């Protein structure tokens, strides 16, 4: 209740909701009626406000535009039968946002501010949460420098903002991925573990080169030798090899995905053998050749599980078994979906009702 009574609300005059065709929502293009903003200056958060979603005024000299002083988060909510919004692991997203903030010399967001602004905004735009099978409300909190100064230094002014975006059923066709051996997403000592804007801008070009060759996305490898697997696109990557769930151990060049953690938690809960460790490209390819790699998938909020159909390396494609045969990935997808929709119990306390 620390911030709740301080949030001012300016409602839209006319909701855009009646115009939206919920049976056909493109990802990331439609936003709800309202957005939340808060300003940081003089060492504190202030001006908590919800206003109609729309264009904003920012200084042309803000370091957010020039030097990438910006961070973001991504999470999802669904609506249960009683009309409650169920938000998945919001506290974990906040923790991660604060880790990103520290790395980028930005202020921490207090838990009450994050949760209360989210609650107020979601409550106002509750009717925007799609109810169609598989659809959800994507929540995008972000923070950026609001200084007017093109020198490079820690900023003094920041804006914290939340926008909401209904998303349709993300039916993911299995993806073709290519192991990247030249470009690098993140390096030791860099910002790969933070959800910082620049990490993504720099990844678009190498991903496009792979797309021109017929792949959907890249499997990133370490920035020193390109010898060890790191992530897949903007998802964490996992393999079932010799009946063991294997994923790269976290490091400062790997983003600590909340889906990753959820999948590992469930696998351990089910008694499956789990290994978080280095996986070399050589080991993976050898595993694929001897048929020991029975599953490969990306894990992230957008799709939850993105099955990998084939893995390309230096011109050769290594195919994986058909998706129907992937017992673990299909089971974990179903279980996570049921927990998120509260059609199954939530043994790990992942759901916040709003």
Ligand X SMILES: *Cc1c(COP(=O)(O)O)cnc(C)c1O
Contacts for 236 with CB less than 8 Å, ≥ 6 apart? 247, 248, 254, 255, 257, 259, 260, 298, 299, 300
Gyration radius from the chain CA atoms: 21
Does position 231 interact with ligand X (CB under 6 A)? The reply is: yes
3-state secondary structure 49-61: EEEECCCCCCCCC
Binding mask 149-188 for ligand X (x = CB under 6 A): ----------------------------------------
Beta carbon nearer to ligand X, 40 or 193: 193
Choices 129-137, 140-148, 229-237, 345-353; region in contact with ligand X by CB under 6 A: 229-237
Return the closest-CA partner of residue 127 out of 9, 36, 13, 16.
16
**Residue 46 DSSP SS3:** strand
Number of H helices, E strands in the chain: 8, 18
Beta carbon nearer to ligand X, 34 or 185: 185
Does position 248 interact with ligand X (CB under 6 A)? The reply is: no
Beta carbon nearer to ligand X, 7 or 248: 248
Burial of 43 (0-12, 13-18, 19+ CB in 10 A): exposed
Does position 258 interact with ligand X (CB under 6 A)? The reply is: yes
| Cα 290 from Cα 303, distance rounded (Å) | 29
Per DSSP bridges, beta strands 34-41 and 158-167 are antiparallel
Does position 70 interact with ligand X (CB under 6 A)? The reply is: no
Does position 62 interact with ligand X (CB under 6 A)? The reply is: no
Does position 259 interact with ligand X (CB under 6 A)? The reply is: yes
Beta carbon nearer to ligand X, 146 or 196: 196
What residues from 71 to 100 belong to the interface with ligand X (CB under 6 A)?
Answer: 74
Does position 234 interact with ligand X (CB under 6 A)? The reply is: yes
Return the closest-CA partner of residue 343 out of 83, 77, 80.
80
Beta carbon nearer to ligand X, 135 or 191: 191
Query: Minimum distance from CB of 134 to ligand X (Å)?
Result: 17
Beta carbon nearer to ligand X, 168 or 300: 300
Beta carbon nearer to ligand X, 116 or 231: 231
Query: Minimum distance from CB of 262 to ligand X (Å)?
Result: 8
> Which H or E run contains 239?
strand 235-241
Choices 55-63, 78-86, 228-236, 324-332; region in contact with ligand X by CB under 6 A: 228-236
Does position 235 interact with ligand X (CB under 6 A)? The reply is: yes
DSSP state of 280: B
**Contact set with ligand X (CB under 6 A):** 74, 195, 231, 234-236, 255, 257-260, 300-301
């Amino acid at each position: 209740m620390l911030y709740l009574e301080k949030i001012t609300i300016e409602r839209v005059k006319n909701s855009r909701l009646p115009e939206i065709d919920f049976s056909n929502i493109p990802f990331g293009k439609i936003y709800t009626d309202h957005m939340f903003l808060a300003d940081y200056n003089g060492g504190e958060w202030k001006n908590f406000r919800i206003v109609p979603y729309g264009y904003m005024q920012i200084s042309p000299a803000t370091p957010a535009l020039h030097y990438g002083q910006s961070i973001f988060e991504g999470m999802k909510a669904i609506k249960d039968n009683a009309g409650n919004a169920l938000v998945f692991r919001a506290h974990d997203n906040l923790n991660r946002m604060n880790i990103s903030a520290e790395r980028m010399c930005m202020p921490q967001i207090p838990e009450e501010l994050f949760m209360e602004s989210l609650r107020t905004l979601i409550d106002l735009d509750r009717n925007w949460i799609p109810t169609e099978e598989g659809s959800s409300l994507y929540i995008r909190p972000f923070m950026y420098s609001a200084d007017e100064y093109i020198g490079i230094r820690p900023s003094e002014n920041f804006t914290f903002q939340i926008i909401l975006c209904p998303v349709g059923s993300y039916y993911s066709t299995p993806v073709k991925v290519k192991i990247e051996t030249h470009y690098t997403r993140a390096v030791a000592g860099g910002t790969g573990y933070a959800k910082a804007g620049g990490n993504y801008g720099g990844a678009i070009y190498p991903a496009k080169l792979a797309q021109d060759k017929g792949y959907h996305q890249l499997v990133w490898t370490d920035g020193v030798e390109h010898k060890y697997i790191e992530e897949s696109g903007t998802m964490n990557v996992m393999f079932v090899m010799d009946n063991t769930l294997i994923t790269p151990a976290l490091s400062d060049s790997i983003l600590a995905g909340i889906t990753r953690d959820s999948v590992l938690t469930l696998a351990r809960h089910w008694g499956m053998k789990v290994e978080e460790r280095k996986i070399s490209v050589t080991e993976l390819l050898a595993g694929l050749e001897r048929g020991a790699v029975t599953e490969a998938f990306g894990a992230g909020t957008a799709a939850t599980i993105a099955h990998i159909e084939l893995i390309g390396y230096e011109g050769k494609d290594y195919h994986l078994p058909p998706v129907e045969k992937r017992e673990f990935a299909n089971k974990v997808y179903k279980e996570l979906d049921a927990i998120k929709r509260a059609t199954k119990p939530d043994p790990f306390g992942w759901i916040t009702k709003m």
